[in-house]
Amino acid sequence: MTEHRIKIVEKILNANDRLANANRQRLDQSSTYSINLMASPGAGKTSFILATIHALLDENIQIGVIEGDTAPVTIDSDKINAAGMPAVQVNTGGECHLDAVMVENALDQLALDDLDLLVVENVGNLICPAAFKLGTHSNILIASVPEGDDKPYKYPNIYRGLDVLIINKVDLLPYIDFDMNYFRQGVEILNPGLTTFAVSCKTGEGIEGWLDWLKAKLT
Amino acid sequence: MHELSVTESVLDIACKHAKKAQASKVTDIHLVIGRLSSIVDDSVEFYWNVISKGTLCEDAKLHFKRIPAELVCLECGEKYTLDQELTPCPSCGSARIRVLSGDEFNLESIEITKESND
C-alpha cells in the first residue's frame, strides 16, 4: 500500500463550461443572438420578454424563448406562445438554476436557423445562475426597484458578470424607499460603466433605449 | 445554493484522476474556494457523504481552503482584500474598482492510496 498526492488544479465547473462553449458555437452557426436573462422571482423577466416581443412585432425579428422553472409548470411558456413566438419550458427538477446541459437539450427543440434572437429566462434566483455559464452571448439582469437598493451589495457575483442591467418597475419609485444613487454606486463597484436601462414594463417607459441596444446586436 | 451539482462535479473530477492514477482509494480531497464563490461547506459535505458511497472516493475527507478576494482601485491603483462587505477604495474612496481574484473554485489535489508491488 502506498500513498500519493496528485496535483490536479481543475475548475470544478469545467464540464459545464465546456458544454457552454459548445452551445455558443451552435448559436453562432445559426446566427442567433442569445441572452441569459436573470433576476429574482417576480422582478418581471417574463413581462420584459413580452414587452420586447410586442415592441418588435413589426420588425420581422424571430424570437425564441427558453423558460427555466423549478416546477413543472408552463405558465411562462404559454404566455410566450400566446404572443406568437416559440418557447421551450425547462423544468429543472428543483435545481435553482439552469446549466449548460439543460440549455443544450432545449436548443434541440428549437428551429435555431429561423431564430434571430434567443432569450433564456433563467430560474428566479440571484445566486446560483451567476455560477453556471450557459453559452449565451450576453448576461442580462433585471433588478426591480421594490426588491430594494441594497441588492448589488448582497449579491455581488451576479452583478459582476453582467453585460446589461435593466432596472424595472421605475413607475413605482415615488411610492417606495429606493435610493438610486446608493444602488448605482454598488453596481459601479462591481461592474464599472455597466450599460444600464431604467424601464417600466407596465408603462413602457425607457423601453426604447433597451430596444435600440438590442437591435444593434441583431444586425 | 447549487451544492448538489457542484458536489457531483467534485466527485466526477476526483474519480477520473483517481482511476487514471490506478488508485485503490481516495483518502483526501483538497478544494480551493475564493471569497466570492458562494459555496456552503456543510452542504457540500452533506451531499458528499451521500453521493460518494460505493465510489473510489467513499469516506474521503474534504478539505476546504478559503482564499480572500483581491481588489484593485482603477483610480489610484491601491490593492486591497475584500473583507465582509464591498467597500470603495480605502485609500482614495473611488468606487471604480476591479476584482482581481476571489472567483476560484478549484479541485487542487487528491490524496490516494495504491496497492502496489513495487
Q: Would you say residue B57 lies in a domain?
A: yes
The predicted model gives B7-36 an average pLDDT of 94
Residue of B nearest to A16 (CA): B9
CB A167, CB A187: distance < 8 Å: no
Judge residue A46's burial from the number of C-beta atoms within 10 Å of its C-beta, 0-12 exposed, 13-18 middle, 19 or more buried: buried
Rounded to whole angstroms, the Cα distance separating A159 from A39 reads 11
- A153 with B37: Cβ contact below 8 A: no
Rounded to whole angstroms, the Cα distance separating A54 from A38 reads 20
Helices (H), A85-143: 100-108
- The CA distance from B12 to the nearest CA of chain A, in Å, is 9
Rounded to whole angstroms, the Cα distance separating B35 from B48 reads 21
Q: Lowest-pLDDT range, A51-65, A176-190, B90-104?
A: B90-104
Q: Is a pLDDT exceeding 70 seen at residue A71? A: yes
Residues of B within 8 A of A186 (CB-CB) are 86
Rounded to whole angstroms, the Cα distance separating A97 from A38 reads 10
CB B63, CB B55: distance < 8 Å: no
Q: Would you say residue B77 lies in a domain?
A: no
- The CA distance from B23 to the nearest CA of chain A, in Å, is 9
Q: Would you say residue B51 lies in a domain?
A: yes
A169 vs A11, more confident: A169
- B9 with A12: Cβ contact below 8 A: yes
* Count of the separate structural domains present in chain B: 1
Q: Is a pLDDT exceeding 70 seen at residue B72? A: yes
Rounded to whole angstroms, the Cα distance separating B100 from B80 reads 10
Residue B24: which domain range?
3-68+102-113
Rounded to whole angstroms, the Cα distance separating A219 from A198 reads 24
Among A8, A97, A160, pick the best mutation site for testing chain B contact (most B Cβ within 10 A). Answer: A8
- The CA distance from B86 to the nearest CA of chain A, in Å, is 6
CB A201, CB A172: distance < 8 Å: no
Residue A68 CB-half CA count within 13 A: 31
Average pLDDT over all residues of chain A:
94
Q: List the grid coordinates of A143.
A: 433588478
- Residues in chain A whose beta carbon is closer than 8 A to a beta carbon of chain B? 1-16, 95-97, 99, 127-128, 131-132, 152-153, 156-157, 160, 185-186, 188-190, 192
Cell 435553482, residue?
A96
Which segments of A49-194 are extended strands (E)?
63-69, 87-91, 117-121, 138-144, 164-168
pTM: 0.85
Q: Is residue B64 within a helix (H) or strand (E), and if so which, with residue range? A: strand B61-67
Rounded to whole angstroms, the Cα distance separating A167 from B42 reads 35
Residue of A nearest to B95 (CA): A189
- A95 with B5: Cβ contact below 8 A: yes
Q: Is a pLDDT exceeding 90 seen at residue B88? A: no
Residue of A nearest to B99 (CA): A190
Q: Would you say residue B79 lies in a domain?
A: no
Q: First and final CA of chain A: distance in angstroms?
A: 64
- DSSP one-letter string for A52-84: HHHHTGGGT--EEEEEEESSS--HHHHHHHHTT
CATH tag, A14-141+196-218 = 3.40.50.300
In this prediction, residue A13 carries a pLDDT of 87
Average pLDDT over all residues of chain B:
88
Q: Would you say residue B88 lies in a domain?
A: no
Residues of A within 8 A of B65 (CB-CB) are none
Q: Would you say residue B43 lies in a domain?
A: yes
The proportion of chain A whose per-residue pLDDT surpasses 90, expressed as a percent, equals 79
Helix axes B41-51, B3-20, angle to 10 degrees: 60
Per-residue pLDDT reduced to its tens digit, A113-145: 999 999 999 999 998 898 899 999 999 999 999
Parse chain A into domains and list their residue ranges: 14-141+196-218
Q: How confident is the model at residue B17 (pLDDT cuts 50, 70, 90)?
A: very high
- B21 with A4: Cβ contact below 8 A: yes
**The domain that contains B60 carries what CATH number?**
3.30.2320.50
Whether the ipTM is more than 0.90: the answer is no
A 10 A CB-CB count for A110 gives 18
Q: List the grid coordinates of B117.
A: 508491488
Q: Is a pLDDT exceeding 70 seen at residue B117? A: no
The predicted model gives A170-197 an average pLDDT of 94
Residue of A nearest to B86 (CA): A153
In this prediction, residue A47 carries a pLDDT of 96
The predicted model gives A82-95 an average pLDDT of 90
Distance of CA B1 to the CA centre of its chain: 15
Chains A and B form CB pairs within 8 A to the count of: 106
Residues of B within 8 A of A160 (CB-CB) are 36, 99
Residues of B within 8 A of A162 (CB-CB) are none
Q: List the grid coordinates of B45.
A: 459535505
- A4 with B12: Cβ contact below 8 A: no
Among residues B84, B78, B76, B108, the alpha carbon closest in space to that of B35 is found at: B84
CB A9, CB A95: distance < 8 Å: no
Rounded to whole angstroms, the Cα distance separating A26 from A19 reads 11
